[in-house]
Amino acid sequence: MSAAAATTDWWTMAVIVGLALVTVLTRCFFFILDRPWGLPEWAHRALHYAPAAALAGVIAPEIVMTQGHLITTLHDARLYAAVVGAAYFYWRRGVLGTMLAGMAVYLPLHLGLGW
């Protein structure tokens, strides 16, 4: 490895230091303030939906996409497993049963039929 390849240029170091400062300031922001600070009521209400929105944002693309493209066939075990899991959750409201019902559909279709 040459000496030029082993050194870090000044721009990279400036970006690293800048990101570190932004991180420290945003994490210490609440300690720096001299008075208590609270969220408005609308923000509290919105935060109740954050876990469901994050979960949907992670799971929905996994169900309907493969390698960055929408699936084009109905021969995909994830679709049927998701439908069965959602139906079970709507019927019984149990998380463990939802996972078991979805996997009970997914595994035979994926391993048995190769979907």
The two three-digit tokens of residue 38, written as one number: 């609270």
pLDDT of the residue at 1: 52
Confidence of residue 3 (pLDDT cuts 50, 70, 90): low
In Å, how far are 8, 10, 16, 36, 74 from 19, measured between CA atoms? 16, 14, 5, 26, 45
Confidence of residue 38 (pLDDT cuts 50, 70, 90): confident
Confidence of residue 96 (pLDDT cuts 50, 70, 90): very high
pLDDT of the residue at 4: 56
Lowest-pLDDT range of 25-29, 40-44, 74-78: 25-29
Q: What percent of the chain has pLDDT over 70?
A: 95
- Mean pLDDT of the chain, nearest integer: 90
103 CB-contact burial (10 Å; exposed 0-12 / middle 13-18 / buried 19+): middle
The predicted-structure confidence for 5-28, as pLDDT tens digits, reads as follows 567 789 999 999 999 999 998 888
